[in-house]
């Protein structure tokens, strides 16, 4: 059992904590030699499909870095294959979908997700991670947001301009709505199954929604994000994360979430003021700052904590995932700096 008053869970409820809790997106990844060693032997997907190894990768950063939460080792794209869209993780280009969704007929061919049947290894990894964490820190489950998943499905991989995504959205709004509703249902099923298996908070990654105008966000994204968040099991904190969304913060907050994740392109105090203090905030150190010398890192941590003003409901994190080149000692120093400089 994790203590329900653990600083991470208390911060999710905007309660006072003895120090600001901290974890890092992609805290389990290629910058860590323990991970690279396993990756030399297994493919990324094999690691995701082996609950014993996924749990080991989930727990290692907690022990190594001293962070206040674990995030499940998995990926936002795992649910695409059981929805009928095979994908590959290539070495250099990231995920690649060779038959992307481009038409209404493609959308209609997608299958409903039955997560317990098709992704049992994810939930077994949740149970094994909880057992291995043994109550030390809470476990965060996660999924991609409908928009970010749709962008991968339609583009066939990462993108700069999201041209195919926007073309479908504008030219066939019915197909777009159908796609977003299907993805929203899948994400709700998937996250609720993670929660049933033992996830104590969930983060929804809308990593690429910053490419949208406020008007289009409201029209094409927001209803589906609201439906997703309101479909989740009550009482489990939801972190709503995105990047490049300084101009969308009010709309993002209105779509839902207990904690709003922000990146480093906005000052944390200005972001929080716009969001309102009746919601928590997560962020927002530039991941590249971890390449700086240690005293510089400490200074930047102090600056973010100053902007948070000691208000309850701040969870310290990077503004996006740890970069593969990051020295692990710098991550450890950052976590220590957060704990020391925020102690109250
Ligand atoms: O945060 C964690 O430590 C938990 C694990 C986690 C992974 N992916 C493992 C992973 C999480 C939370 C994710 C989320 C994810 N996956 C997102 C949202 C976050 C973000 O970065 O915006 C997205 C967009 C993906 C899709 C994805 N998966 C991409 C674009 C890539 C390739 C590029 C990259 O950063 O490696 C992946 C592969 C992936 N997911 C790796 C890991 C550890 C690297 C795989 C490898 O070992 O080669």
- Answer yes or no: is pLDDT of 92 > 90: no
- Annotated active-site residue 39? The verdict is yes
Question: Do 145 and 210 form a contact (C-beta atoms < 8 A)?
Answer: no
Residues of 96-125 as b/e, b for ≥16 C-beta within 10 angstroms? ebeebbbeeebbeebeebebeebbeebbbb
**Tokens, residue 107:** 């959308």
Instruction: Fill in the DSSP letter of residue 233.
Output: P
Q: What is the pLDDT of residues 266-307, one digit of tens each?
A: 999 999 999 999 999 999 999 999 999 999 999 999 999 999
Q: How far is the CA of 79 from the centre of ligand 1 (A)?
A: 14
Q: Is 298 a catalytic residue?
A: no
Can you list the positions of beta strands (E) in 155-237?
Answer: 201-206
Ligand 1 atom 47 nearest Cα: 44
For residue 90, the cross-strand partners are 94
Mean per-residue pLDDT, 227-238: 98
Contacts of 318 (CB under 8 A, 6+ apart): 24, 25, 264, 283, 284, 285, 286, 287, 290
Distance in angstroms between the alpha carbons of the first and the last residue of the chain: 26
Residue 216: active-site member? no
Joined tokens for residue 83: 């929805």
Q: Tens of pLDDT along 192-220?
A: 999 999 999 999 999 999 999 999 999 99
Could you tell me the two tokens for 149? Answer: 């998943």
Helix (H) or strand (E) run with residue 140 in it: strand 139-144
78 lines ligand 1 (CB under 6 A): no
* Nearest residue to 74 (alpha-carbon basis) of 135, 139, 132: 139
Q: Which of 14, 35, 68, 75 is catalytic?
A: 75
Q: Tokens representing 82?
A: 């059981």
């Amino acid at each position: 059992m994790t203590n329900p008053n653990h600083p991470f869970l208390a911060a999710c409820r905007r309660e006072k904590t003895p120090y600001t809790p901290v974890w890092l997106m992609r805290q389990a990844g290629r910058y860590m030699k323990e991970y690279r060693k396993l990756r030399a032997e297994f493919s990324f997907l094999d690691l995701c499909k082996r609950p014993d190894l996924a749990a080991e990768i989930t727990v290692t950063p907690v022990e190594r870095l001293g962070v206040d939460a674990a995030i499940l080792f998995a990926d936002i794209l795992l649910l695409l294959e059981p929805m009928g869209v095979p994908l590959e993780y290539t070495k250099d280009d990231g995920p690649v979908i060779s038959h992307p969704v481009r038409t209404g007929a493609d959308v209609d061919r997608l299958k409903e997700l039955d997560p317990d049947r098709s992704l049992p290894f994810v939930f077994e990894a949740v149970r094994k991670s909880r057992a291995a964490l043994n109550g030390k820190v809470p476990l965060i489950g996660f999924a991609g947001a409908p928009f970010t998943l749709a962008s991968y499905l339609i583009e066939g991989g990462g993108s700069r301009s999201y041209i195919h995504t926007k073309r479908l959205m504008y030219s066939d709004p019915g197909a777009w709505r159908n796609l977003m509703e299907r993805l929203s249902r899948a994400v709700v099923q998937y996250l609720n199954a993670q929660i049933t298996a033992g996830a104590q908070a969930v983060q929804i990654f809308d990593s690429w929604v910053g490419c949208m105008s406020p008007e289009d966000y409201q029209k094409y994204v927001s209803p589906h994000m609201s439906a997703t968040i309101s479909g989740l099991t009550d009482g489990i904190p939801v972190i709503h994360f995105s990047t490049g969304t300084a101009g969308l913060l009010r709309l993002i907050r209105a779509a839902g979430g207990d904690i709003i994740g922000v990146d480093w392109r906005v000052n944390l105090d200005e972001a929080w003021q716009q969001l309102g203090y009746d919601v928590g905030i997560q962020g927002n150190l530039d991941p590249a700052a971890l390449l700086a010398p240690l005293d510089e890192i400490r200074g930047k941590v102090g600056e973010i904590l100053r902007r948070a003003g000691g208000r309850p409901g701040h969870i310290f994190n990077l503004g996006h995932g740890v970069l593969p080149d990051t020295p692990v000692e710098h991550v450890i120093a950052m976590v220590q700096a957060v704990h020391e400089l925020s102690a109250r």
